[in-house]
Amino acid sequence: GCVLVVSVIEQLAQWHNSTVKAAMERLCDYIPGNLCLCTISFSIDREMNADVVCHSLRLCKQDPGQPLCHLYSPPKVKKHSSGLFHALAHARPKRQIRSKIFMGFSSVCAFPPLANLCEKMKHVLRNKLPFEDFDGDKFSTFPTLRGYHWRGRDCDDKNTTVYPGRRPDNWDAKSDSNCNGIWGVDPKDGIPYEEKFCKGADSKGVVLLGDSAGAHFHIPPEWMTVTQMSAKSFANLPMAFSDELDWPQFSEVTGFLNSTIGGWTDSLYLRLRKRNRCNHRDLQNISQNGIRGRLIQEVRSGLARNQLLDNPAIVIYATIGNDVCNGERDTLAHMTTPKEMLSNVVQALRYLDSHLPNGSHVILTGLVDGRFLWDNLHDRYHPLGQLNKDITYSQLYSFLDCLQVSPCSGWLTPNETLRNLTSERALQLSNVLKEIARSEKFANFDIFYMDFPLRQTAEEWRKMGGEPWQLIEPVDGFHPSQIAAALGTGITWQKALHEWPQVLGKENPFNDQIEAIFKDQGGH
């Protein structure tokens, strides 16, 4: 954290030809509200990159027996001396610290403006449920903190029997019990609109059980690219943090808003809604950053589906990388085994079978081949290194690995053998999912398998004139980008249309009439 912030401050001073103090004040002016946590002054000479500054301030440290972690190449010094150690020895006497130093990053929640938000975040992370949910039906009228960015917006948060995805109460003649915006009685014939337009329409919702890719993890590159940085760059920072740096409202499965983070939004939910307007708001994104194949706890606490009262659902089960990804030194030993994968997934499917309405569907998605990441990014410059051409993704990956916080030590490494072994394990786990889909039978849903469509996505993007690296999130160098998410939706949809048409349901012939009558009531 220190290296990141100091790098931005140093680059702001360079770009605007200002002092470090002025650059820091500029950064704090950019950040909304009272979220700027530090006032710090330090002298800089040509030996003092952000690594040197942060170690000299003792905000970064070297544990006994561990390597000295650094993001930048060590400063060049005289022969026979170690660059970074030499720079540290000469930097410490020069450091100047005024006012408050960086607040300890581990105690950031003690900072008064953030204390309330931190308590809310702890609740949300612990329960995977909306923080603002007055009737306890797992749906909310509040967007973030696991609110309607993550699942359909509640239309009456004081009534536990009103929520997206339920079958209409008395055909919603008097009120909108399922929040799809269709209710009331046609004065011409006395028939409820919901009955007229949605009866027999094969309505169904979509539920994602996923990891950070499904939640759509994204750190805006403008936050660390000083040539693009302004107050506007950070306007979405409070929202981003209260959504765990995830953007499910733009995601591949449950996205419903126009993307504001580049690319465009195309999602399974939007296509289901276009196919049948009665599906409006019936979405749930039960994804979590860092989750592995053992999703049973998240399913139990987060799934909102009543087997008797609600419509069937299409459940996408997609943990595409974390079962082989970890930041451990011995990464192979900490990967999920095929035996563990089988047990974890079958356990979750049995729970789903006891809670999903009859006529539901489950699609198991295979793991990605993450060798794509190193192959397309390792020698490119990271946003933090674009100004001075001094940080490549290879350097970033090595820095995170040294700190033992790498999102995937097995793929984000120069070790080709390790990258191949990681992909080999990913393929083994995908084959487990494929065999489950082939052999397991359940009472309330049928089950399908599809490979993660990375190769097809890359081919489609090349045809559009794009480059493969643009399919990867630029800041973390690990997650699928907004472009990849949108293209992946189209590929998945076409596969379902041709191979599993029963999953998508019928096209509703009344869609235009519904939009004409309820266009003012059906907004998200």
Distances (CA, A) of 105 to 1, 80, 98: 7, 36, 18
Provide DSSP, 380-404.
SBPGGGTTTT--BHHHHHHHHHHTT
As a whole number of angstroms, the distance between CA 236 and CA 501 comes to 39
As a whole number of angstroms, the distance between CA 184 and CA 342 comes to 48
Structure tokens at 154: 């509640």
- How many other CB atoms are there within 10 angstroms of residue 89's CB atom? 12
Fill in the DSSP letter of residue 188.
T
Among candidate residues 459, 462, 460, 450, the one with its CA nearest the CA of residue 495: 450
Instruction: Tell me, yes or no, if 343 is annotated catalytic.
Output: no
Residue 445, SS3 per DSSP:
strand
- What element of type H or E holds 510? none
Fill in the DSSP letter of residue 302.
H
Instruction: Determine the distance from the C-alpha atom of residue 195 to the mean position of all C-alpha atoms in its chain, rounded to a whole number.
Output: 37
* Contact criterion met (CB below 8 Å) for 181 and 193: no
Instruction: Determine the distance from the C-alpha atom of residue 316 to the mean position of all C-alpha atoms in its chain, rounded to a whole number.
Output: 15
Provide DSSP, 246-281.
B-GGGSTTT--S--SSSS----HHHHHHHH-GGGTT
Structure tokens at 10: 């140093």
Distances (CA, A) of 338 to 135, 347, 424, 432, 486: 41, 14, 12, 6, 30
Residue 81, SS3 per DSSP:
coil
Question: What does the angle CA 208 – CA 513 – CA 517 come to, to the nearest 5 degrees?
Answer: 90
Among candidate residues 43, 49, 2, the one with its CA nearest the CA of residue 19: 43
The β-bridge partners of 151 are 284
- What element of type H or E holds 220? none
- How many other CB atoms are there within 10 angstroms of residue 225's CB atom? 19
Residue 8, SS3 per DSSP:
helix
As a whole number of angstroms, the distance between CA 129 and CA 151 comes to 10
Among candidate residues 335, 344, 342, the one with its CA nearest the CA of residue 424: 335
Catalytic position from the list 7, 140, 203, 212: 212
Among candidate residues 22, 16, 88, 96, the one with its CA nearest the CA of residue 49: 88
Instruction: Determine the distance from the C-alpha atom of residue 7 to the mean position of all C-alpha atoms in its chain, rounded to a whole number.
Output: 25
Q: Give the residue numbers annotated as catalytic, written as ranges.
A: 212
